[in-house]
Structure 1
Amino acid sequence: MSNNSNEQRVIVVGTRQSALALTQSGQVIDELKRISEQQGLGYTFEIRKIITKGDRILDVTLSKVGGKGLFVKEIEQALLDGEIDIAVHSMKDMPFELHEGLMNGATPKRVNPLDCLVTRNGHDLDSLPQGARVGTSSLRRSSQLKNRRPDLQLESIRGNIDSRMRKLETEGFDAVVLAAAGLTRMGWEDRISALIPEDVCIPAVGQGALGIECRVNDSQVRELLALLNDRETDITVRAERSFLGTLNGGCQVPIGAHATIISEEADGPLLELTGMVGSPDGETLLKEIKRGKDPEELGKKVAESLIASGADRILAEIGG
């Protein structure tokens, strides 16, 4: 990359205004500054906070708010309007279909993709008392937890990561379920009482990963973001998102997927993808595991296998 025409460019980074979103964006900017300096590009960065529909409506469960892209639509509009140059999203909030003219420019290295419990007494899932009150904002989580522990009282809990943890004390929950990645990025790993194993609760598509969105026609930013991309995270998340896209699912339906690279081979990495679709009551949990080399093809095959097992009927019933 040459530095003749871009020395003075200020790259505006759009983000939600929660503490977690601002922390994530700050970490991305730190990394981009390092790359910019290393490459002699002379870019500077500034943050622009944007309120999304999902941030405004906090008294309704995500599944009832409806629509895909609850936490990204307004940010994408700012990108299209040229008000910002880069958008930092939690990958699990990104809809499969991106707006025309926009693209995912980078998927940085993923952190822990698992769900976790934050409890008052250090319990893990199996040691929570009979009938314990557990808060979660996610149908995917509640479906799988009901399947494992039908006795638990699962209740909807919305809000930012810190406000959800406060509800342990203020609203008398025994536990709340959160993404371990959020607590890790905030430096709050010591608050995690227990990780929930993948065989109990398959994570959301892209959980633990970020998506850095930009305009297709912004070649400077695209070149910069390419240097931030983590190959392993990119490939595994592409498989998960292909699975999501084939099922046409959003964050308001009980869908989970997690891909890993299980071996590096001469013709490329071998992936393993676990996909899940569950009924909201937790009585039906459909799971499929497949391996393959092509991430998009693998995601599609796992989804088609679940559709053949009845996933389409579950999703149709809950408006997926």
Structure 2
Amino acid sequence: MAHLVRIGTRRSKLAMTQSGMMQRAIGHALGVADADLAEAVPLVEIVTTGDRVQDRRLMEIGGKALFTKEIEEALADGRVDVAVHSMKDVPAEQPPGLCIAAVPPREDARDAFISETFAAFADLPMGARLGTASLRRQAQALALRPDLTIEMLRGNVDTRLRKLAEGDFDAILLAAAGLNRLGFESVIRERLSLDDFLPAPGQGALALQTRAEDAAAAWVGALNDPLTALAVAAERGAMTALEGSCRTAIGAYAAAVDGRLRLTTEMLAPDGSARWRRAAGMSEIQTGDAVARARAMGLALGAEVHAAAGDQRASF
């Protein structure tokens, strides 16, 4: 059987798990039997710069685009037909000729608290060592507990859990979605509130990226979840307005409830000493222009937060 759709993916266990989920979904949409999946919808493993460099924060080596750049190059060159990304790793602007064609249903968007010793974030003792590589999680943790010692933690999920087990940290923070997809739900001691730990824009969602000319393919439409796509559009609009990158501590979360989309977004000083937050809502979420209006709402709300932070951002 000839290749129908080639999927570009990072080699990490989580990336391979997520791409395997999409491989089965794409195969189902194309009517491919499970036995033929590996040939008809093959996974093409691509090592990214973000995977190779594990000893520094992403903001020190070029930002989260380092998890997508090589895969996007393969997509643009025609070596793969679709890329599966964690949405929170996808930069605000798409490269020329590429687009986010589909957003599948979202997993849990919350952050997870994991510890060998403590049952909840609030139980951490004074000066406890909290592991994270996320500037957002660092800022949110310090906003609640300025006494904590934040220590850099990178690597895949297995590596991070091993470092915790070896006693390098008193607790670590990870995305609940990745743990759920890997079948590691049992390590989660507490799912942190969306209020205290507003997630990264797009957290828990996946992005299916294609060449622009392939965005209308039937299988693409079959994998898109309209409400997730709507929420993510609002969050990424806020991210764009806030110049969201690994150098800024920002959070954004949107969800549709009772026919209305509600978006909350915030920016924080990296040390947690200042926090600027705004929320807004949007009705008529079933209309054809809903995604564009959701993005516009995110852009406007992000601009409000940006203005509220004002000159204080210069000291970040």
Taking the aligned partners of 1:192 and 1:200, their CA distance within structure 2 comes to: 17
Other structure's SS at 1:261 match: strand
Give me the TM-score of the superposition, normalised by structure 2.
Answer: 0.91
1:174-253 equivalence runs, <5 A: 174-218=170-214, 222-253=217-248
- Determine whether 1:284 maps to 2:284: no
Give me the TM-score of the superposition, normalised by structure 1.
Answer: 0.90
Other structure's SS at 2:67 match: coil
Which contiguous aligned blocks of 4+ residues in structure 1 show a shift greater than 2 angstroms? 7-10, 169-172
- Determine whether 1:153 maps to 2:152: no
Match of 2:44 among 29, 39, 48: 48
Q: CA distance change for structure 1 residues 228 and 253 in 2, over 3 Å: closer, same or farther?
A: same
Q: Deviations for 1:226-283, whole angstroms, at most 9, x for unmatched residues?
A: 110011100000000011112222133201100011222xxxxx21111010011110
For this pair of structures, how many residues does the alignment match? Answer: 303
Higher alpha-carbon deviation: 137-146 or 121-130: 121-130
Taking the aligned partners of 2:118 and 2:181, their CA distance within structure 1 comes to: 21
Aligned to 2:297: 298
Aligned to 1:24: 18
Aligned to 1:309: 308
Does the CA contact (< 8 Å) of 1:277 and 1:311 recur in 2? no
Does the CA contact (< 8 Å) of 1:138 and 1:252 recur in 2? no
Does the CA contact (< 8 Å) of 2:3 and 2:42 recur in 1? no
Other structure's SS at 2:179 match: helix
* Shift, 1:211, TM fit: 0.1
Q: CA distance change for structure 1 residues 311 and 71 in 2, over 3 Å: closer, same or farther?
A: farther
Please tell me the residue identity of whatever aligns with 1:79.
L
Identity %: 39
Q: Deviations for 1:124-152, whole angstroms, at most 9, x for unmatched residues?
A: 11011221111001000000000101111
- Determine whether 1:166 maps to 2:165: no
- Determine whether 1:73 maps to 2:69: yes
Aligned to 1:3: none
Q: CA distance change for structure 1 residues 219 and 185 in 2, over 3 Å: closer, same or farther?
A: closer
Match of 2:9 among 11, 15, 39: 15
Q: Deviations for 1:270-302, whole angstroms, at most 9, x for unmatched residues?
A: 211110100111100111111124201210121
Taking the aligned partners of 1:236 and 1:38, their CA distance within structure 2 comes to: 31
Please tell me the residue identity of whatever aligns with 1:262.
V
Higher alpha-carbon deviation: 276-285 or 303-312: 303-312
Please tell me the residue identity of whatever aligns with 2:246.
C
Other structure's SS at 2:74 match: helix
Aligned to 2:60: 64
Q: CA distance change for structure 1 residues 147 and 88 in 2, over 3 Å: closer, same or farther?
A: same
Aligned to 1:263: 258
Please tell me the residue identity of whatever aligns with 1:214.
T
Q: Which runs of 5+ in 2 are unaligned?
A: 284-292
* Shift, 1:38, TM fit: 8.0
- Determine whether 1:129 maps to 2:125: yes
Q: Deviations for 1:93-145, whole angstroms, at most 9, x for unmatched residues?
A: 00111111101111000000000111002421101122111100100000000
Q: Which runs of 5+ in 1 are unaligned?
A: 1-6, 265-269
Tell me the C-alpha RMSD between the 2 structures.
1.8
Match of 1:273 among 263, 278, 284: 263
Q: CA distance change for structure 1 residues 97 and 260 in 2, over 3 Å: closer, same or farther?
A: same
Say which structure is richer in helix. Answer: 2
Q: CA distance change for structure 1 residues 242 and 312 in 2, over 3 Å: closer, same or farther?
A: farther
Does the CA contact (< 8 Å) of 1:254 and 1:277 recur in 2? yes
Taking the aligned partners of 2:250 and 2:215, their CA distance within structure 1 comes to: 35
Q: CA distance change for structure 1 residues 121 and 213 in 2, over 3 Å: closer, same or farther?
A: same
Taking the aligned partners of 2:311 and 2:124, their CA distance within structure 1 comes to: 33
Please tell me the residue identity of whatever aligns with 2:306.
I
